[in-house]
A = this chain, B = another copy of it.
Amino acid sequence: MSYIISFYQTKFGELWEKSLTSLIKEVIFGVLKEASLKIDQINAIFFANMMAGVLENNLHIASKISEIIGKNIPIFRVEAACASGGVAFHLATKYLSDNSKKTVLVLGAEKMTDYSPEETTAALAAAASGEEQEAGLTFPGLYGLMANFYLQKYHYNEENLAYVSFKNHYHGSLNPKAHFQNKVTVEKILKSPYVAYPLKVLDSSPISDGAAALIITNDKKLIKKSKNLAKVLASEVATDTINLSLRKSLDQILATKIAADQAFKKAGIERKQIQVAELHDCFSIAEILAMEDLGFWRKGEGGKKIKELSTMLGRSSLTVNPSGGLKAAGHPVGATGIKQIGEIFLQLVGQAKERQVKNARFGLAHNVGGSGGTAVVTILGN
């Protein structure tokens, strides 16, 4: 059995003064300090990053991390678009499953704001299918198609979507590491400019810089002396075609459903036992679909449910995106999946401060690549 014993993240945002390398360095030594460990106690590193190759012709970062730490341990780079962090965590848990005593550091980092929005948007589109790229579809466009379909099929409107951002910006206002720490009103969201109809600026997660890191171990001695512990009950990955035109349905992310069913089976718990979840709200519609595909809400009722704001901090038995989600906490792609799991860790060990969910025993993180080509569902317990 593997345990998370430490989490660290940089502030997410427009970090003009920091390079990818400096972000990586900060979280490696930050997470080690947090755990009172030395780099010599780390047996391997998993690194999640999507775009350093495309944006800054920077690949083979494993060797660059070797230089930073001055060690020759195995270092693995994993890429699965926006699910890179979740997939890196998943492979790290697999790496620990041979039960030889090991401690692994998992980090994600992304440097996205040094480029024009056009360059970054085009680079993000690398995760879409060739046909979609050729047709000029960007990710706001792809999620816009899903949003239109959902609103029409279940008779909702843009106001229903706005409540996702309203809630997540409120949570972000409680998170000092969040990219955006301002509350927004539903009115303001509805008046913000369209990015891809019906999605507006305030339905969309931002382009952010940032990094996050976790330490996972199966070393019983280390587990015993760790102050903070969260058990990895399940980490499951599923894939699907990225091509929306080939999907059976536009109002379901099948990969999420498959990964969630497997994860709950593996963890041996029920949906209703989850008190806190970090979901992949790259766009407002994505959180609504995720709540349904994960099995928290029935298909089609999400538009209504979100307006009740039951998933807002302190409102009911399940709080969703207490970090602020991708929407408010920011979305430095490779770091996102790690930060989500880190937030659940903080909630379970009671260190989420102002945004603490009371008595959280079980938490879930949900990380998606592109428009749903990869989904990772992680369940932690304390």
Task: For A71, list chain B residues within 8 Å (CB).
Answer: 239
Residues from chain B with Cβ under 8 Å of A123 in the complex: 57
Taking a contact as CB atoms under 8 Å apart, the answer to whether A239 and B73 are in contact is: yes
Name which of A31-39, A92-100, A309-317, A350-358 contacts chain B: A92-100
Whether the Cβ atoms of A63 and B254 lie closer than 8 Å is: no
Task: Identify the closest chain B residue to A125 (Cβ).
Answer: B57
Quick check: B60 and A373 within 8 Å, CB to CB?
A: yes
Tell whether, in the assembled complex, residue A127 and residue B59 are in contact, meaning their CB atoms are under 8 Å apart: yes
> A64: CB under 8 A from chain B?
yes
A66 and B239 within 8 A (CB): yes
Tell me whether A223 is interfacial, beta carbon within 8 Å: no
Asked whether, in the complex, the Cβ of A59 is within 8 Å of the Cβ of B98, the reply is: no
Task: Annotate A40-74 by CB proximity to B: 1 below 8 A, 0 otherwise.
Answer: 00000000001101100111101111110001111
Which residues of chain B have C-beta atoms less than 8 A from A91's C-beta?
76, 91, 94-95
Given the interface contacts A58-B126, A126-B58, does A374 sit within 8 Å of B73 by beta carbon?
A: no
A77-85, A286-294, A298-306: which lies at the interface: A77-85
Docked CA distance A51–B79 (Å): 12
Measured between beta carbons, the chain B residues less than 8 angstroms from A53 are 51, 53-54, 79, 126
Nearest residue (CB) in B for A242 is: B63
Whether the pair A239, B75 counts as a contact (CB closer than 8 A) is: yes
How many A residues touch the partner, as a band? 35 or more
With A77-B80, A123-B57, A258-B72 as given contacts, are A239 and B63 in contact (CB-CB < 8 Å)?
yes
CB pair A59–B237 under 8 Å, yes or no, is no
Within 8 A of B (CB), among A241-278: 241-243, 246, 254-255, 258
CB of A114 closer than 8 Å to a CB of B: no
Give Cα distance in the complex from A370 to B97, angstroms. Answer: 30
Does A322 sit at the interface, judged by CB under 8 A?
no
Q: Which residue of B lies closest to A69 (CB)?
A: B239
Q: Is A185 an interface residue (CB 8 A)?
A: no
Query: Which of B54, B97, B241 meets A66, CB within 8 Å?
Result: B241
Chain B residue contacts of A107, Cβ below 8 A: none
Bound form: Cα–Cα A239–B61 in Å: 10
A77 to chain B, nearest CB (A): 5
A130 at the interface (CB under 8 A from B): yes
Q: A60-B81, A78-B78 are in contact. List 16 more A-B contacts (CB 8 A).
A: A53-B126, A57-B126, A58-B130, A60-B79, A60-B370, A62-B369, A63-B240, A64-B129, A66-B240, A72-B238, A72-B240, A74-B239, A76-B91, A79-B79, A91-B94, A91-B95
Q: Which 10 A-B pairs have the closest CB atoms?
A: A63-B373, A67-B241, A97-B98, A60-B81, A66-B239, A60-B127, A63-B242, A59-B126, A74-B237, A53-B53
Which chain A residues have a beta carbon within 8 Å of chain B's beta carbons? Answer: 21, 50-51, 53-54, 57-60, 62-67, 71-81, 87, 90-91, 94-95, 97-98, 122-123, 125-127, 129-130, 133, 236-243, 246, 254-255, 258, 369-370, 373-374
Can you offer 13 A-B residue contacts whose CB atoms are under 8 A?
A: A57-B123, A59-B79, A60-B370, A63-B373, A66-B373, A67-B240, A72-B254, A72-B255, A73-B239, A74-B239, A91-B91, A91-B94, A94-B95
